[in-house]
Structure 1
């Protein structure tokens, strides 16, 4: 990553691309920059995804009830809170990235502390969902035995919820400065330790699902504490100790955080809803089973693009903060193009192996046939999900969360979900109809976001970034810093 605008140093923007040679040079430069950030982030996200998966694997050997209960707890309650907390933390991604690019590195620590406060309060707001997980799961139609054990497990992982209030802001703080390799190493070491803890607590000490919950909590706090230690010990430019400045303009920060949370939650919960709707179809066992296999594969691809999402957010916010509109625009175009190619590659692989890949998950011939029939829809979903997260990352980097939230509501919940319901239930197309309707919602959202990108005035975005930095990182905060020092 380039040195930000510090001590009067000015970094020139790209010249207009007018030839094939200039385009190749720009394309390669941006490719190196984006993957230098995206590579470690993707690896870290895969490690985090692996933490959940390995927890389920260890618990699965205890029995079917234990596996179902822990899976339900992590997939329903855990995913709900994870999406909300990740969204609330994404406001920091916008502001830290833009502040770093603008040379206001001293503000990163203040923003991080402000986000810690907001996310800690968010955890308290989410707490009733954890406390009353059992009745909530029963209300959603889960069997009593599964809901009771899932509720007990959910209560035990409350400490993991509060670890996210430290984890996400600290991670965004490091991402904004492209200090992503340390995030990857912490995630990898935590995954290894998590496996050891699971073996000790679940098998050696025979603590069962209680042991799995304790291991989950310890691993989550290991990651958070390790990141904080690195920030306070090795990030002297961005961290200047605790400051009362974190409480300044906190409501404006909350508004941006809520907009981010709504934007991301609407995306995360949209695809979750298809599982709930499918569970009420005729022959629900085959429908849910085949869809779950497809969603599992789609989830692994999603981890890749969540990493790219974070990387393009860092690139855009840094370049806007640096006052380089062309660099921001070119980084978006290059990343969208590459992501589309990756999505097309995955679609081709799925279509070629549509009669075989389900064997990895099941020996049931009926399920394998059902999965093969859904492969085409899975391929289309993978293409759309390759572009859509990248554009969402651009939205976070540019601070457009509120606009994207409105687009998501209209595309997903006013258009896509009702259309899926009509096709699945009224037209009696079953899971194909449900999924097709929801794909249409995603396609509409992607199209609208592409139009927004096409019409974006990047020079104006730079002006808005400058105004935001002056409002939240300028003289008001500087004076507050002086008060802290006196």
Structure 2
């Protein structure tokens, strides 16, 4: 084709989708045509390429987290210090770690769609708004750490552990911004199809945490040595992530802000909050529900044995849950890529493939925990009372595996498709109006004890997974792709024309008045489109698009 005409070019057939205008910078990912089995194999490869490194990364972080607490018990065995350290770590996780990590998940939604449409250069806009949100979140976390002593005293916690808990939380809060920014940068990198750097960076940070905690505790720093080691590991994770970006020259697609596109493809603060907050709520709802379960376990007749047994079960389950968190990350990334690339049919194949994978994985893990769970529990303690409670409730823990695996995978799909608000609503209703009340009823009134607490939790997860699956079944991905690309900031020069015409077709705008209104809305695209293509090419394309949605428009 030349810039002087389109001689010999056949017009597009009526009723077909509009043709995309040429792109100036970056080509979107293109999913190659393939048969069904080839498509399934390709989606399996892509999902595993993201999920496996993510699983290793999460497992390393979990391992370091638990082993460092064992160092406190070995080198600072004062009961108040051990209890204060554990309570401070829990308080920091709830009021600090979960806040920023939850918000950083929203970065994946933007970055994965940007990668799909070939506009990764706009990730700098996303990280700029993310930093602003983190500033407010850190103020909240710091205030929570400062007033943790008063807050926990109000909640009836033992007085002797309040000061150690406050000191631990304050030191850990110093490193929270570094941890959050590291998570956000890693989300951008993973969204571009590579999860290995995050595995290496967090793996080295976890080893730093282990080595420094061991050295400080053995050197006589006490339990606060663990707090300083934790903060240092947060900073090292950020340092390693930034070093990778600079070494590979990815600044332009990770954090640099393209000055030439300021005001055009920029993600504003309101849009970032609307996208990130529901994703964060999903995480907060899950974490807070786990703490409520611990409280219910404390009300059981078994007392401290029930609490200890619940702790063993939860720590065991949390390790295996990481496999499904990794699947959620993979689903979020892949669905976001396909939404950005406007591959509606491939999304359905990806969802079906991912479901088959998580069901098979959950079946294997469930069988393993059912038969070998009691043996794993004996690695923690030899106390017969605690083990009796844990063994009795082990089937309940096993029953949470399958619903949790599906729930997390479906959440990843929702996040990738800009539907995360539905996931937050479904989880809140399922956990707090059904799951937790059932845990309390079965455990306290139904005489099921700790087993009842876990059965109620499994019911809440199952209801949440069912509600989200119904939503996914009803989604028209062709329409959702258009909405997601418009909300996520598609290219204003070319894609703006394409997206608005697609939206007109998706909404069934067939009358002359509706099409005229669409034309008026598209008028502002003309000058921007002229900058990226010859005027005659643009004119012919716009005429062809309009004719495809309005028979009264002369070709």
Change (3 A) 1:229 1:113: farther
2:131 paired residue number: 116
| Worse-matched range after superposition: 155-164 or 215-224 | 155-164
Q: Does 1:399 align with 2:418?
A: yes
Rounded to whole Å, the distance in 2 between the matches of 1:83 and 1:240 is: 23
1:154 paired residue number: 169
Q: C-alpha displacement at 1:399, in angstroms? A: 1.3
- State the Cα deviation string for residues 151-187 of structure 1 (Å, max 9, x = none): 1111111112222331221111111112321111112
Rounded to whole Å, the distance in 2 between the matches of 1:228 and 1:239 is: 10
Rounded to whole Å, the distance in 2 between the matches of 1:240 and 1:381 is: 39
Q: Does 1:352 align with 2:375?
A: no
Rounded to whole Å, the distance in 2 between the matches of 1:163 and 1:10 is: 32
Change (3 A) 1:351 1:187: same
Larger Rg computed on CA atoms: 2
The alignment of Structure 1 onto Structure 2 pairs a total of residues equal to 468
Residue pair 1:43, 1:184 contacting (<8 A) in 2 also:
yes
Two-structure CA RMSD over aligned residues (Å): 2.6
Which one has a larger percent helix, Structure 1 or Structure 2? Answer: 1
Residue pair 2:439, 2:452 contacting (<8 A) in 1 also:
yes
2:278 paired residue number: 259
Rounded to whole Å, the distance in 2 between the matches of 1:342 and 1:367 is: 29
Rounded to whole Å, the distance in 1 between the matches of 2:471 and 2:313 is: 30
Q: C-alpha displacement at 1:430, in angstroms? A: 2.6
Rounded to whole Å, the distance in 2 between the matches of 1:284 and 1:475 is: 65
1:50 paired residue number: 63
1:226 paired residue number: 240
Change (3 A) 1:463 1:8: same
2:228 paired residue number: 214
Change (3 A) 1:459 1:213: same
- State the Cα deviation string for residues 245-304 of structure 1 (Å, max 9, x = none): 598621221122222221221122212210012112222111111111111111001112
Q: Report 1:113-152 matches (<5 A).
A: 113-152=128-167
Q: Indicate the SS of the match to 2:378.
A: helix
Structure 2: runs of 5 or more not aligned:
1-22, 497-527, 529-555
1:474 paired residue number: 492
Q: C-alpha displacement at 1:321, in angstroms? A: 0.4
Q: Report 1:284-303 matches (<5 A).
A: 284-303=303-322
Residue pair 2:88, 2:165 contacting (<8 A) in 1 also:
yes
2:15 paired residue number: none
Residue pair 2:399, 2:455 contacting (<8 A) in 1 also:
no
2:534 paired residue number: none
Change (3 A) 1:386 1:248: closer
Change (3 A) 1:243 1:209: farther
- State the Cα deviation string for residues 332-357 of structure 1 (Å, max 9, x = none): 21112111111111111122235433
Change (3 A) 1:139 1:336: farther
Rounded to whole Å, the distance in 2 between the matches of 1:226 and 1:474 is: 35
1:321 paired residue number: 340
Q: C-alpha displacement at 1:10, in angstroms? A: 6.9
1:41 paired residue number: 54
Q: C-alpha displacement at 1:219, in angstroms? A: 1.0
Q: Report 1:81-92 matches (<5 A).
A: 81-92=96-107
- State the Cα deviation string for residues 116-165 of structure 1 (Å, max 9, x = none): 22112211122221111122223333211122211111111111222233
Q: Indicate the SS of the match to 1:129.
A: helix
Q: C-alpha displacement at 1:36, in angstroms? A: 0.9
2:191 paired residue number: 176
Q: C-alpha displacement at 1:14, in angstroms? A: 5.0
Rounded to whole Å, the distance in 1 between the matches of 2:170 and 2:141 is: 12
Q: Does 1:463 align with 2:476?
A: no
2:403 paired residue number: 384
User: So what's the TM-score if we normalise by structure 2?
Assistant: 0.79
| Worse-matched range after superposition: 138-147 or 319-328 | 138-147
